[in-house]
Amino acid sequence: MSLAPIGKKTVRDIDVSLKRVLVRADLNVPLDHGAISDDTRIRESLPTIKYLQEQQATVVVCSHLGRPKGHDDSLSLSPVAGRMGNLLGQEVFFAEDCVGPAAETAVRSADSGRVVLLENLRFHAEEEANDPEFAGALASLADVYVDDAFGSAHRAHASTEGVTHFLPAVAGFLMEKEVAYLSALVADPPRPFAAVIGGAKVSTKIAAIEHLLPKLDILVLGGGMANTFLKATGIDVRMSIVEDAQVEIAGRILDRARERGVEVHLPKDVVAAERFAADAGSRTVLVGKVPRGYMILDVGPESLAEARKALSRAKAVVWNGPMGVFEMDKFAAGSFGMARLIAGLDATTVVGGGETAEVVAQLGLQGQFSHVSTGGGASLEMLEGKELPGVAALMDA
């Protein structure tokens, strides 16, 4: 699949030599008792940082971590500075605030080619409020702004949109790659084009499905959201999670898919359990045979076999949303099976971030996909055809 230019200037298009460059990265890494359990997002930020270092820029990196309400030591970016330094092979200086004297001193003290990481942006409520004064304080630390945080590009925050009113603003390499892959896939996908859509709630995926439907040849549905579609076809899903307010919409989507000749695959068999628990008694049954009092928590092997047959013809596949409750081992086979299935296809394969990327990472399959997005919400909004505020704010090419 050929990737078109993203229509925005990138870090290649601007002089950064010997300048102070503010880089908005997505370093919202998972923590396990204070330790980084997956450093993928840190690694993905490195190409842009290394490029800036090669240009002898002073690299000032900022990010959020978690959802703190004010200062919270458990959500400090200090451990990220340590890991980033290990990966870069040099010390990353850590500023104990992202604005004010601590940030200003850290940046002023850093030589050309060195990296400073600012403390968690969300320790300040002004970040999410896109406060102009806060954005101006961030911008005052640098001469140029580079947005490399695709995972936050769907939010108009001070560090993603506000700073662009104060500094020349361009895309980093990760932002460029993310936007190029997802926009090319939605605009002009290779044929046949397939989407695999899962996750818990159909309400969060309706807009993406509706936007993709005119371009799709194959649609595979799974996860909790598939229950709403199954109910729309008249199947009794017993105690399974269903969004009753979306049943009529799901039915209309299935009707439109048939009219357009889109091949739709709903689960044929499922893993159903007595309750939502890792140790619950479970059975693999056909979708119309779920026992009374049971709930669907994963797709079954027949569903995966049907998906394999359908997807083997595809030239491009986008996958967003797990096939079941993969956090529980007993109900992870569907999601893991789908990951292995798509990873083995001779096609352009794109994973839409979030939980789907977690499944791929758990299996160590990242390198077997054409692209694994770092942004769940942002990738979903691109699949919905929306323009992301963080991208729209960058300078046009």
Catalytic residue (one of 8, 41, 114, 122): 41
Q: Is 201 a catalytic residue?
A: yes
| Catalytic-role residue among 66, 113, 136, 377 | 377
**Strand-strand pairing, 31-32 and 35-36:** antiparallel
State whether the Cα torsion 14-17-19-25 is positive or negative: positive
Q: Which of 318, 376, 374 is nearest to 349 (CA)?
A: 318
User: Is the dihedral angle over the CA atoms 230, 232, 238, 240 positive or is it negative?
Assistant: positive
**288 classed as catalytic:** no
Task: Single out the catalytic residue among 324, 354, 375, 390.
Answer: 354
Whether 317 and 349 have beta carbons less than 8 Å apart is answered as yes
Reading the block at residue 263, the tokens are 């091949």
For 160-163, the CB contacts below 8 A with 24+ separation are 160/24, 160/389, 160/390, 160/393, 161/130, 161/389, 161/390, 161/393, 162/130, 162/131, 162/132, 162/134, 162/135, 162/136, 162/138, 163/22, 163/24, 163/135, 163/138, 163/139
b (16+ CB within 10 A) / e for 100-110? eeebeebbeeb
Residue 281 structure tokens? 């008694």
The answer to whether residue 41 is catalytic is yes
The amino acid at 157: H
- Active-site position among 201, 268, 313, 315: 201
Alpha carbon of residue 50 to chain centroid: 23
Among 178, 191, 112, residue whose Cα is nearest residue 149: 178
**What are the catalytic residues?**
41, 201, 354, 377
